[in-house]
Amino acid sequence: MYLYGASGHAKVIIEILEAAGERIDALIDDNPALNEVCGYPVRHDAAGCSPLIISIGANAVRRRIAATLNARYGTAVHPSAVVSPRAVIGVGTVVMQGAVLQTSVRVGRHCIVNTGVSVDHECRLGDYVHLSPHATLCGNVQIDEGTWVGAGAIVVQGVHIGRWSVIGAGSVVTKDIPDGVVAYGNPCRVVRYIREGLPGENFSEEVK
């Protein structure tokens, strides 16, 4: 396995792969001064590197890199994670220590399911989603592409959170959240729109 990105997030994935008994061939990073991380060599060119995990925490950066690389992707699931045999995990996704994915959960490509996250039955995560440590999704939650759910946030059953939004740490989400917003609180409410989304997308700056 190769890891694209050699920061702190990569160090966590290294330990997940080590715990799972997976071979780590090298890391890839564009910093020419960086030649080693955690005892593994760092390359500066991704040519021929497969399978690969994009080990970068920023959702939009993972999306941009995935769009440019012609690579086969792997996954990393820590042995302490509890993953239902009926759960589906997309390529490039990382499931960290102590996470729980219950029956019929579907996780998209290049997602991060962080430490101690709980995802209950039939939840759906789009591509490039990041669930921060100890976030909790109750049953039948849908989170669309690129959204980041902060540490310790709780999303109650049946809620739908749109694309490329940010849910603040510790929030309690009881109602649907639209695309391209920052929302937080208990109960969680939209506080502003994100000025710029992905290329070709623009959201208004403030909530009216």
> Which residue of the set 9, 78, 121, 134 is catalytic?
121
DSSP letter string, the chain: -EEE--SHHHHHHHHHHHHTT----EEE-S-TT--EETTEEEES--TT--SEEE--S-HHHHHHHHHH----B--EE-TTSEE-TT-EE-TT-EE-TT-EE-TT-EE-TT-EE-TT-EE-TT-EE-TT-EE-TT-EE-TT-EE-TT-EE-TT-EE-TT-EE-TT-EE-TT-EE-S-B-SSEEEETTTTEEEEE-SB-STT-B--SS--
Could you confirm whether 130 is annotated as catalytic?
no
| Active site residue ranges | 121
